[in-house]
Amino acid sequence: MTILAESFPETLDNLERDDGGLSGGTRDLVVSPMGEKALGVVMGNEVIPSQEASRADRVVARADILNAYSLFEPAVAPLIEAHNKATSKEDLLESIEAMYEGIDVPVSIADGGAASVFKIVIEGKSYAVRLANSDEIEGYIKGSSAGRGIKGLEQMIAASVEDLITISEIIPGKNGQRLNLDDMEAITDEQLISTLQMLKEAVDNGVRIDPNATNFMYDRDVGFGILDYGYDPNIEMDFPLEANVAAFAHLIAEGSLYSSVIESEEDAAAYYSKLEARLRVLKRFSDICRVQNEGERVVSEAVRIADYFEATMQRYAPGSAWVKEQVRQAVKLREWKSRDIKPDTFF
């Protein structure tokens, strides 16, 4: 059932109801007279405004997420109480243990910058419960409404703005900060194709990903996933597909060029082979961008990052002047250390 209105209705009285045409899924929608804009979703006597008033499915998803919270509330209430009272992490974990009395005790997964995340089992299914530290969760719920149904993107099931809590399906795997050589070698072409598709669908639906490595997940069987994303009505202008492609390419190249101690030719050779594995993924990804025909800007962004990575990693190539210098310095350092000379006297 849909309800037609020129603008966001203060009251539902005197509005025309239409039983055919646009389907509101499981909810009644308030839509503009031509049905092209969703203005809100009816819940009881209330109308929840559609903040962007553009896509009915997004409005329905948001209402579903907020509505579903009552089903989860009993299971998460003790967690919220413990979180609000706790003065330290140890304190928090202890009171959770006590409150859940050994049954399906929530397990801490991560403490991010903006939230504490727990895994909780409810009726045999696992969920990621995110307790936010600030009240900035509206954007997160909006993002998740826009990302509903997009394969690979975090699927939020329930949320409460008041309790600062969101409950999502678990994305399998490890977060992008922990990708290693074996993971690089496990990434398949199909997974890269699905990733590009996910990045594209994100843009098409106004989803704005936050390109931190910790917001990407990778599982060898399932591939890449993305969590903790927001919504941007001007996404195609502000953050087009090539920006998402760059974010993913940076994830593959992430941090690796600055994170190793090179004290011998062997160190350099071992490190170089790890970089080569990353480069191979970057090159396969740029080939896939080309084959999938997402446009020249997308391809050139992927190629640019692969080329830059390849050029920069050459300093680690066995026998390079830079490696020779690192080895020379390491030898010198060991020698001076053995003669007990303080470092500030030899540089």
Ligand X SMILES: Nc1ncnc2c1ncn2[C@@H]1O[C@H](COP(=O)(O)OP(=O)(O)OP(=O)(O)O)[C@@H](O)[C@H]1O
Binding site for ligand X (CB under 6 A): 109-110, 112-115, 117, 128, 130, 154, 168, 170-171, 175, 212, 214-215, 227-228
Show the tokens assigned to 51.
Answer: 């903040």
Picked from ligand X, Mg ion, none, the partner binding residue 110 (CB below 5 to 8 A depending on kind) is ligand X
State the amino acid at position 93 in one-letter form: L
316 near 266, Cβ under 8 Å?
no
From the CB of residue 203, how many other CB atoms can be counted at a distance below 10 Å? 20
154 versus 242: smaller Cβ distance to ligand X: 154
Picked from Mg ion, ligand X, none, the partner binding residue 288 (CB below 5 to 8 A depending on kind) is none
Picked from Mg ion, ligand X, none, the partner binding residue 42 (CB below 5 to 8 A depending on kind) is none
Q: Least separation, in Å, of the C-beta of 113 and Mg ion?
A: 7
Q: Contacts with Mg ion in 218-247 (CB under 5 A)?
A: 228
53 versus 79: smaller Cβ distance to ligand X: 79
Q: Among 50, 160, 168, 215, which residue interacts with Mg ion (rule: CB under 5 A)?
A: 215
Read out DSSP for 262-311? --SHHHHHHHHHHHHHHHHHHHHHHHHHHHTT--HHHHHHHHHHHHHHHH
Q: Least separation, in Å, of the C-beta of 51 and ligand X?
A: 21
Q: Is 144 an interacting residue with respect to Mg ion (CB under 5 A)?
A: no
- Interacting span for Mg ion (CB under 5 A) from 38-46, 106-114, 249-257, 292-300: 106-114
From the CB of residue 314, how many other CB atoms can be counted at a distance below 10 Å? 11
Q: How many Å is the Cα radius of gyration of the chain?
A: 25
Q: Least separation, in Å, of the C-beta of 313 and ligand X?
A: 26
Read out DSSP for 5-20? -SS--S-STT-EEESS
Handedness of CA 196, 198, 204, 210 (dihedral sign): negative
Handedness of CA 309, 312, 314, 316 (dihedral sign): negative
139 versus 295: smaller Cβ distance to ligand X: 139
Q: Is 326 an interacting residue with respect to Mg ion (CB under 5 A)?
A: no
84 versus 126: smaller Cβ distance to ligand X: 126
Picked from Mg ion, ligand X, none, the partner binding residue 175 (CB below 5 to 8 A depending on kind) is ligand X
Show the tokens assigned to 267.
Answer: 């160190």
Q: Least separation, in Å, of the C-beta of 108 and ligand X?
A: 10
Show the tokens assigned to 291.
Answer: 């084959």
- Please classify residue 230 by burial: count the beta carbons closer than 10 Å to its beta carbon, then call 0-12 exposed, 13-18 middle and 19+ buried: buried
- Please classify residue 258 by burial: count the beta carbons closer than 10 Å to its beta carbon, then call 0-12 exposed, 13-18 middle and 19+ buried: exposed
Picked from Mg ion, ligand X, none, the partner binding residue 128 (CB below 5 to 8 A depending on kind) is ligand X
Q: Least separation, in Å, of the C-beta of 214 and Mg ion?
A: 5
Show the tokens assigned to 114.
Answer: 């903006």
Cα separation, 119 vs 126, whole angstroms: 7
118 versus 239: smaller Cβ distance to ligand X: 118
Q: Is 166 an interacting residue with respect to Mg ion (CB under 5 A)?
A: no
Picked from ligand X, Mg ion, none, the partner binding residue 264 (CB below 5 to 8 A depending on kind) is none
228 versus 301: smaller Cβ distance to Mg ion: 228
Cα separation, 252 vs 161, whole angstroms: 34
Picked from Mg ion, ligand X, none, the partner binding residue 109 (CB below 5 to 8 A depending on kind) is ligand X
